[in-house]
Structure 1
Amino acid sequence: MTRPIFAATPVNTPVHGLSAFGDLKYPAGFKQFDYANPDAPKGGIIRLQPGDWLFNQNTNTFNTLNTFVRTGSAPPRMELCFDSLMSGSLDEPDTIYGLVAETVTISEDRNSFTFRLRPEARFHDGSRITAEDVAFSYDLLKRDGHPTFQLILAEMAAAEALSDGEFRLTFSGQQSERTILAASTFPILSKKELATKKFDSGHLQPFLGSGPYRVGRFSAGRFIEYERVEDDWARNLPFRNGLYLFDIIRIDSFSDRNAAFEAFKKGETEWRGEFTASVWATEYDFPAVLDGRVIKREFPEDQRPSFYCKAINQRRERFRDLRVRQAIARCFDFEWINRNIFYGLYRRNQSPFESSPYKAEGLPGPEELAILEPLRGKIPEEAFGEAVVQPTTDGTGNDRRNLREAARLMHEAGWTLKDGFLHNEKGERFTVEYLVNDETFLRISPGFIRNLRSIGIDATIRQVDPSQYQLRLIDFEFDMIDVAFSLGATPTRDTLMQFFHSSTANLPGSNNYVGMADEAVDQLVDIAARADNRQDFTIAMKCLDRVLRARLDWIPNWGSANRRVAFWDKFGFREPKPDYGFPVEALWWYDEEKAKAIGK
């Protein structure tokens, strides 16, 4: 018999924080996070090229300032303008602490959460954040918000303002056990302001926020500046103390990576994560690097599951056969690409949960088999053997052994070679359009396309502009794309559902790009969600990993053990970086002496 959710947290008792398994690091009344620096100066500007983003955000362009809806393209970091009931820490895997809410109280049945709001919490116009604003925000996000919000709030039964300073969030009892960890971090919007505005993507005026930054200057599709709020209501709380120190965070939009790199070389942008191995290996030899004005270094990757892969859209019937996906995977010669294009800087990914304890290794142990055995016959038999790894190649770019096996698999799946291309019994040609939004992929992918065509697949690669690419992802209008994601250190059921659950297979804007709809996978997601301790959760996640790898819905690409970063030497920062996140715009600060030394 499993314990109830948050079993280590007392019911009917106000607490300052929640953790999935009860292991809070910071006590009530703590003053700062350990990774913050209250002695660091405030001021200056960081011109940032972000390597991650949320919701409908786009690094290449933007046409809306509403980042909380499905459509449109918003600039990265809009979330910095909005506060939430609670906030996570970067040195714990699954803990949240009260932000706008000073405390939270769990009900006896553990389906209701009552938040006592801080009376000093304010929007940027000085008006108080009330429980009415919070209730309005949750109803709005559930009804009209981005699929991320809609999925997590699917079992929300009520969002109630009990008084100006007390809010209650109630779930149906069918919610994920840890839904509240995500739900309580959602943005709070002003009910009064939105009473006269549509909540859609047609906004190039920012909504009223309450976070550490507000929107400053911007030009749609070109750049945006976020200005630090001087009279920030939460500036003395531990969530801001020693963090969010730059006066201005500027993000420029670039049509492609080459343009972004050239802007960095000129000093027009000042911080950059480098994701192109050839650039890292050969192009950081410009004068500012050679004379020390630009620092090139590596930081440890976050200790959270991540994956970079090719997503094959199984809403197209021809991709539903596992043998077809295995054949496509065998045409991808990682060894050749890594040696000839990536300078040997990458390793082959094998798992959707790389860089985490959830990546399965070797044969399943007794505890894993106890979960997997009841699913025998519903999951690939390979899930009961050694954890599936992708076949290696001879590194020639044309491994005949792998290509022969790929051809055999396609024939076994019912595809016959005719006039140089594979056809099914209906006479339909097997086609694959590989959709990309950056010319980098045009340089690294010809060998993959050539191998696909060599076995009879009519394969093409198509680059589209960022706006069209975003629209096609939202509506799942593609055959195959590259996808990179980092999940939470302790992924909730809602997060796993976004990628792997049948309920999101046809939800526009979800992250279930492959259209996965498998009852056995759904069961494994539920088993992981019901785990009441970290050990059982890890075991369940390893079982999920084994099945996902055996299914091969996502063909693993490559990854690195470290983050490759370059920046103009005008910043201060504490080391080591936190284990579960690296938001430099919040962690770093402007160092005036360093900036003067390099003329910045």
Structure 2
Amino acid sequence: MFRIILCGILLSHWVLAETFSDKGFSLFGEIKYKELKHFDYVNPNAPKAGNIKLYELGSYDTLNPIALKGIPAAGLELLYDTLTVRSEDEPFSEYGLIAERIQRDVNNQFVIFHLNKKATFHDGSPVSAFDVEFSFKAILESQNPVITRYYQDVAEVVVVDKWTVRFNFKNNQNKELPLILGQIQIFPKKFYEGRKFGENPLEIPLGGGPYMVESIEAGKKISYKLAENYWAKDHPTRIGQFNFKKVTYEYYKDDTVALEAFKAGVYDYRQENSAKNWALAYAGNALKKGYIKKEELSHSLPSGMQGFFFNTRKEIFKDIRVRKALGYAFNFEWSNKNLFFSQYTRTKSYFDNSPLASFSVPLEKETAILKPFSSSLPQELFTQPFVLPIHKQVSNDRGLLKKAQKLLADAGYKSVKGKLQKDGKPLAFELILVSPAMERVAIPFKKNLSILGIDMKIRTIDTTQYINRLRSFDYDMVVGVVPQSLSPGNEQRFFFSSQSADEQGSRNYAGIKNEVVDALIEKVIFAKDRGELVDYTRALDRVLLWNYYVIPHFHNRSFRVAYWDRFSHPKITPLYGIGFWSWWIDEAKDMVLMEKNPKLRRK
């Protein structure tokens, strides 16, 4: 879920027609900031200075942040304000920005946002209720399921007056709906009069956020400059943030090339996702002399799920025994030791590293939730904990591979000249990748599958092709990533629901069509309190795991960041993010670095 907090006193119950201001709101529980002056993880006195360069992989072909077709440019979120702003040191709390006040029906049938009359776009025009209405309709018309799925329970949006907008709901069960509406990016209606939103994908748009587009090189580079007339620069949710005068994203086709460019000083900062790179690739004079810094910033975010996702739309993976069998061929223990320098933890839940993860056998409340579905669930789910295969030997565990062989035999596969076949068709499929770094993980997996008589082809493709194939579900197996928050909700529909399985652009990578999963998703969304949310989420997690839709990979419980030593950042790091936009250019550090490395000077 997108976690929202609005200007208003902390409420146990919403009251019709009562207006709340000056405080925050949390979906469940207390808020941290009773009187928000600024977030604890920022430096309120951080200087606004310096130009920085960041990097992205692939390319882009649109400046429309909600486009279904095309690849949006990096950093577009810097252009637009939302009704609310998330606090990165609270699990599910946010504070009002454009939304100054909120009213919600006691029966949860509508929500009313009262806008801050000081809010303006970059041309000085006010942000009005008509802009909120326009933005919401633009989202729906985009038909981008990753976004529109959040708002399917909204019946209509109504402009009450210039500064007031009301959303009516189709039902009163979705308690997070008023909250996620606060996350809508607000676009200027007037700018798009006489033309369709996003019609010209590379037209520089008018925004209202902390930055504005300065220049673009289509597909190669995009630069943003700090909006000097930004209306909210002294707003409590913005103080100490967005401290760089210019931000440029440069695109690279390959991460290996991008890493070398970083070490050469072409750009300033990168988050490292490769354990091998983190351990070995930064060695050199710049790191030795302290010009490049490496930090590991611990966090408390759920791991989400990264893994080899089976496309169950394909006949070859419809049998759960086949999916389970292939999991025995992934030797995480060997990979972690030999490829990752033992930096990773095996992911054992879709909500790992959080209280939402299922564990052991179902407890009493979780059992009560799952019992009505018992005829559609494996009985082991109620009596055994879900466990992943552990390869105890240095090489492959033959016992595990024998278990895989038995499952495949039970599924009707027989070995013919060393290759598994069923009804004359070989057990063969393709894994598509976008990152060459992931080939190191896939190749040992491929070798283990070949021992079983299974032929897996590995194909690494460019970013554009990969995104298009992902959107159209044109793959057998893919390395997918399903992120999670500490307050799951509507987004579970486009991750796992039957409705999203055939909806192009959704993140239902596995093509899950499971009535039990559908029912549990709705229970998660309509949870009445935090306790129910945890129980329903654990039940959902357990059902997903026992259906073997993915071979889970691994996760790291810290962010690995490398940067040229021209930055400073607050001593407090937020629990649920990196907090990069609270960093700033330290003039003293910058002068020393530039004197010793003139090539790093940023114009």
TM-score band w.r.t. shorter chain: over 0.9
| Letter in structure 1 aligned against 2:31 | L
Q: 2:157 aligns with which of 156, 159, 166?
A: 159
State the Cα distance separating 1:307 from its structure 2 match.
2.1
Q: Which residue of 2 aligns with 1:441?
A: 438
| Letter in structure 2 aligned against 1:437 | V
Cα pair distance change 1:538/1:454, threshold 3 Å: same
Cα pair distance change 1:399/1:22, threshold 3 Å: closer
Q: Which residue of 1 aligns with 2:16?
A: 11
Cα pair distance change 1:484/1:377, threshold 3 Å: same
> What is the rounded CA distance, in whole Å, between the counterparts of 2:83 and 2:542 in structure 1?
36
Query: Map of 1:16-27 to 2, 5 A cutoff?
Result: 16=21, 17-27=24-34
> Normalising by the residue count of structure 1, what TM-score does the alignment of the two structures yield?
0.93
Cα pair distance change 1:199/1:315, threshold 3 Å: farther
Deviations 1:106-127 (A, max 9, x none): 0243121111111111111111
Q: Which residue of 1 aligns with 2:49?
A: 43
SS of 1:260's partner is helix
Deviations 1:302-333 (A, max 9, x none): 43352221111111122121111111111111
Query: Map of 1:186-197 to 2, 5 A cutoff?
Result: 186-197=184-195
Query: Map of 1:378-389 to 2, 5 A cutoff?
Result: 378-389=376-387
Q: 1:34 aligns with which of 30, 40, 45?
A: 40
Q: Superposition RMSD on alpha carbons, in Å?
A: 1.9
Deviations 1:377-428 (A, max 9, x none): 2122232234312111145443322222212211211222224322222x22
Q: Is the 8 A contact 2:82 2:98 kept in 1?
A: yes
> What is the rounded CA distance, in whole Å, between the counterparts of 1:246 and 1:141 in structure 2?
30
| Letter in structure 2 aligned against 1:119 | K
Cα pair distance change 1:270/1:201, threshold 3 Å: farther
Q: Is the 8 A contact 1:25 1:92 kept in 2?
A: yes
| Letter in structure 1 aligned against 2:25 | L
Q: Which residue of 2 aligns with 1:421?
A: 419
Q: Which residue of 1 aligns with 2:68?
A: 70
> What is the rounded CA distance, in whole Å, between the counterparts of 2:419 and 2:196 in structure 1?
51
> What is the rounded CA distance, in whole Å, between the counterparts of 1:162 and 1:512 in structure 2?
37
Q: 2:175 aligns with which of 174, 177, 183?
A: 177
- 1:590 matched to 2:585? The reply is yes
Q: Is the 8 A contact 1:72 1:201 kept in 2?
A: no
Deviations 1:133-183 (A, max 9, x none): 111111121122421221112121111111111111111116632122222
> What is the rounded CA distance, in whole Å, between the counterparts of 1:288 and 1:471 in structure 2?
39
State the Cα distance separating 1:206 from its structure 2 match.
2.7
Percent sequence identity is: 33
Deviations 1:241-283 (A, max 9, x none): 1111111122221112101110110111211111111111122
| Farther-moved stretch of structure 1 (479-488 vs 257-266) | 479-488
Gaps of 5+ in 1: 1-5, 51-58
| Letter in structure 2 aligned against 1:440 | A
State the Cα distance separating 1:593 from its structure 2 match.
0.6
| Letter in structure 2 aligned against 1:211 | G
Gaps of 5+ in 2: 1-10, 595-599
| Letter in structure 1 aligned against 2:302 | R
Q: Is the 8 A contact 1:112 1:171 kept in 2?
A: yes
Q: Is the 8 A contact 2:369 2:539 kept in 1?
A: yes
> What is the rounded CA distance, in whole Å, between the counterparts of 2:373 and 2:46 in structure 1?
54
> What is the rounded CA distance, in whole Å, between the counterparts of 1:566 and 1:356 in structure 2?
26
Q: Is the 8 A contact 1:498 1:511 kept in 2?
A: yes
State the Cα distance separating 1:239 from its structure 2 match.
1.6
> What is the rounded CA distance, in whole Å, between the counterparts of 1:23 and 1:146 in structure 2?
34
Q: 2:297 aligns with which of 284, 296, 299?
A: 299
Q: Which residue of 2 aligns with 1:56?
A: none
Q: Which residue of 2 aligns with 1:131?
A: 129
Q: Which residue of 1 aligns with 2:223?
A: 225
Q: Which residue of 1 aligns with 2:94?
A: 96
| Farther-moved stretch of structure 1 (290-299 vs 138-147) | 138-147
SS of 1:445's partner is helix
Q: Which residue of 2 aligns with 1:266?
A: 264
Q: Which residue of 2 aligns with 1:403?
A: 401
> What is the rounded CA distance, in whole Å, between the counterparts of 1:206 and 1:87 in structure 2?
24
> What is the rounded CA distance, in whole Å, between the counterparts of 1:42 and 1:200 in structure 2?
32
SS of 2:239's partner is coil
Query: Map of 1:113-132 to 2, 5 A cutoff?
Result: 113-132=111-130
- 1:339 matched to 2:337? The reply is yes
| Farther-moved stretch of structure 1 (16-25 vs 408-417) | 16-25
> What is the rounded CA distance, in whole Å, between the counterparts of 1:156 and 1:534 in structure 2?
23
SS of 1:377's partner is helix
Q: Is the 8 A contact 1:84 1:187 kept in 2?
A: yes
Deviations 1:68-113 (A, max 9, x none): 1211011222111111122221111112322111111002431211
SS of 2:321's partner is helix
> What is the rounded CA distance, in whole Å, between the counterparts of 1:524 and 1:359 in structure 2?
15
SS of 1:184's partner is helix
> What is the rounded CA distance, in whole Å, between the counterparts of 1:429 and 1:375 in structure 2?
35
- 1:547 matched to 2:543? The reply is yes
After superposing on structure 2, the runs of 4+ consecutive aligned residues of structure 1 that deviate more than 4 Å are none
| Letter in structure 2 aligned against 1:482 | V
| Farther-moved stretch of structure 1 (508-517 vs 447-456) | 447-456
State the Cα distance separating 1:461 from its structure 2 match.
0.4
Q: 1:495 aligns with which of 486, 491, 494?
A: 491
Aligned residues: 584
Query: Map of 1:508-523 to 2, 5 A cutoff?
Result: 508-523=504-519
> What is the rounded CA distance, in whole Å, between the counterparts of 1:264 and 1:40 in structure 2?
25
> What is the rounded CA distance, in whole Å, between the counterparts of 1:408 and 1:174 in structure 2?
49
Q: Is the 8 A contact 1:144 1:199 kept in 2?
A: no
| Letter in structure 2 aligned against 1:476 | F
> Normalising by the residue count of structure 2, what TM-score does the alignment of the two structures yield?
0.93
- 1:580 matched to 2:585? The reply is no
SS of 1:263's partner is helix
Q: Is the 8 A contact 1:95 1:181 kept in 2?
A: no
Q: Is the 8 A contact 2:102 2:112 kept in 1?
A: yes
Deviations 1:34-83 (A, max 9, x none): 22221111111232246xxxxxxxx4211111121211011222111111
State the Cα distance separating 1:432 from its structure 2 match.
1.5
Q: Is the 8 A contact 1:278 1:343 kept in 2?
A: yes
Q: Is the 8 A contact 2:482 2:507 kept in 1?
A: no
| Letter in structure 1 aligned against 2:187 | L
> What is the rounded CA distance, in whole Å, between the counterparts of 1:395 and 1:588 in structure 2?
45
> What is the rounded CA distance, in whole Å, between the counterparts of 1:202 and 1:482 in structure 2?
33
Q: Is the 8 A contact 1:387 1:546 kept in 2?
A: no
| Farther-moved stretch of structure 1 (12-21 vs 79-88) | 12-21
Cα pair distance change 1:89/1:128, threshold 3 Å: same
Q: Is the 8 A contact 2:38 2:236 kept in 1?
A: yes
> What is the rounded CA distance, in whole Å, between the counterparts of 2:407 and 2:314 in structure 1?
18
> What is the rounded CA distance, in whole Å, between the counterparts of 1:513 and 1:201 in structure 2?
29
